[in-house]
Each structure stands twice: as C-alpha cells, then as structure tokens.
Amino acid sequence: MKEKKSAKANLESKRGLFIEIGLIVVLALVYVAFELKSYERITVGDYVRTDVIVEEEMVEITQHEKIELPPPPPQETIQLNAVEDDEEVEDIIIDAEATVTTVIEIKEPVKVVEEEIFEEEIFVIVESPPDYPGGDEARLNFLRNNIKYPQMAREAGIQGTVYVNFTVEKDGSITQVKITRGIGGGCDEEAMRVTRMMPKWKAGKQRGKEVRVSFNMPIKFTLQD
C-alpha cells in the first residue's frame, strides 16, 4: 500500500532553515558562556586596626661648663752653629721617645788637624841635570836594543820621532811618563814602554841637593829598505 504525504507535511524542504536556526542558537550559547565571568571567593577575616603611639623622648638640654686647659709648655729652640768644612762633627742621635725631662748629652767636637802634604817642585833647568848611567851613548844603546818596531806602523809605513816626557825623581827612578808629541801606529805606546824599563838615573841637583827634574827624550822610528 502506497503512503501518501501532503506537501505541507513534508519537512525535507525546511531542512536548511532548521540548520541555520540551530547554528544561531549554538553561537548565542557560546557567546553567553564567554561573557559570563567567574570570580574566586576570598574570605577576609576581621582585623582590628590599632594605632601605636610612640612617645618622643625628651632630651634635657644641659649647659656645658667651659674647661680651662693649662698653658702649653714653652718650646725649646735649638741653635745651630755653622762650622768650617774641614771640621769634623759627630753624628747627632735623635731619641724619638724623648720628653721634656730627657737629659741630652752634648759632646764637644774633636778637632782633627790634617797634615798638609806639599808636592815637591819639579825643575826644568837645574845646575846639574840628571844623567843616564853610562852617559848618552849607553842610553841610546839601551833604546836600540829594547825598542821593537810596531807591526802596525811597519805595515802602514809610519816613521818619525816620538817625544817622551818623564820625571827623574830624587832617587833616580822614572815617573810620570807621557807623550808630548806622537806619530801613532803603536809607536807612542812602544816608546812609553821602553822608557819605563830604563834603570835608575843619576838624579839632578840644584844648589847641591837632589831635586826632581823634568826630562824630554826624543825617540826616532825609521824604516829601513
């Protein structure tokens, strides 16, 4: 048997309308759910407020009495006396723990008498000049036998006269040897070396007494072919 439905009773044509109404209702419920706020309940106890009164401590103002201090002790002055440069003065020891009642012992400086040393005069011209033992010929032989021509001067072809000055002491010894005019190449040093090697001379005399005499001695260096 075939069922017959009327067009008004057919709900299939209104399906879309029902869906739209359902969506609207769901959206409305979601919106209401978001708009509602839940608050946490906080229980607040009863507190009694009490005011604390702090009493200010009254400080009594007292008048300070002026204390008079005793006068300071008079300052001692130390007088410094200038002394000569050659006068020896003892070291002054300063006691850091000294007080006004400390006794300081002051010693008198000891004067030291220095002996003056006078250097005897060196004569240039005397009545009796100093002399080499054996005479000038012996002196020249001594120089020829002991002088060695420096290799440096030989290779450089250096030759000439070296002037040596020295002092003949009162005992005839030779001191204060120096070169007054040299030629270099090692000749000056060789001339001084041999001069210091000379034996004691016969001392020069002035008014019958031995004196110190300055003596100039030329030494000639010559190359042979």
So what's the pLDDT on residue 140? 94
- Per-residue pLDDT of 155-187, as tens digits, reads 999 999 999 999 999 999 999 999 999 999 999
**What count of other Cβ atoms lies within 10 Å of the Cβ of residue 153?**
20
Q: 19: pLDDT confidence band, cut at 50, 70 and 90? A: confident
Query: Is 54 contained in some domain?
Result: no
Mean pLDDT over each residue of the chain, to the nearest integer:
75
Planar angle of CA 98, 101, 105, nearest 5 degrees: 70
Query: Is 131 contained in some domain?
Result: yes
| CB burial of residue 169 (10 Å; 0-12, 13-18, 19+) | buried
- Per-residue pLDDT of 213-224, as tens digits, reads 999 999 999 988
Query: Is 178 contained in some domain?
Result: yes
**Rounded distance, CA 129 to CA 139, Å?**
15
Check: CB of residue 205 under 8 Å from CB of residue 129: no
Query: Is 184 contained in some domain?
Result: yes
Q: Which domain holds residue 197?
A: 122-221
Considering its fold, how many domains does the chain have in total? 1
- Per-residue pLDDT of 50-96, as tens digits, reads 444 444 444 444 455 556 667 766 655 545 455 455 545 444 344 44
Query: Is 60 contained in some domain?
Result: no
Whether pTM > 0.85 for this model: the answer is: no
- Per-residue pLDDT of 107-158, as tens digits, reads 565 666 565 556 789 999 999 999 999 999 999 999 999 999 999 999 999 9
Closest listed residue to residue 217, CA positions, set 196, 12, 206: 196
So what's the pLDDT on residue 31? 81
So what's the pLDDT on residue 86? 52
**Rounded distance, CA 161 to CA 193, Å?**
15
**Rounded distance, CA 222 to CA 225, Å?**
10
So what's the pLDDT on residue 98? 46
Domain containing 179 — which CATH number? 3.30.1150
Query: Is 79 contained in some domain?
Result: no
